[in-house]
Structure 1
Amino acid sequence: MTIKLKLELASGQSLQGAPLELLADGKPIARGVVDKEGWVAFAVVPGKAELAVRVDHSILPR
């Protein structure tokens, strides 16, 4: 199964190349990288869990 997300920052800045993790119940289960259009895809096994996405904030401009 694939989960696709589109990321858009309110500032209009791009997250292209940003490494992301998909968390299930707080534990990393997949990794992905944001493409030039802002999309990221995670390959996962279907199941039941609370999902969240984590980005390394150190890559964002200050």
Structure 2
Amino acid sequence: MTIKLKLELASGESLKGVPLELLSDGTPIARSIVDEQGNATFDAKAGSIGLRVRVDRSILRDA
């Protein structure tokens, strides 16, 4: 199945290039990158349950 998202920040800032993970019951099952229009697309197996999206933490660095 294909899952499409449109992401917009209230501040108007761009999310272009932000990596996202699609989780099923807390386990990453697909990844996507936000495009310049704020769109992200995931390909996942039909029947996945407990779906959530989070920013891929690999972009975070130690302060």
Normalising by structure 2, what TM-score? 0.85
Distance 1:41 1:48 in 2: 15
Q: CA deviation at 1:48?
A: 4.0
Alpha-carbon displacement from aligned partner over 1:12-62 (angstroms, at most 9, x marks no partner):
101000000000111100000000100000011101411110114749xxx
Aligned to 2:47: 47
Aligned to 1:38: 38
User: What letter matches 1:21 in structure 2?
Assistant: E
Distance 2:26 2:39 in 1: 22
Runs of 4+ in 1 over 2 A off after TM superposition: 56-59
Distance 2:60 2:9 in 1: 16
Distance 2:9 2:53 in 1: 14
Distance 2:60 2:49 in 1: 27
Distance 2:27 2:10 in 1: 27
Distance 1:11 1:58 in 2: 21
Normalising by structure 1, what TM-score? 0.86
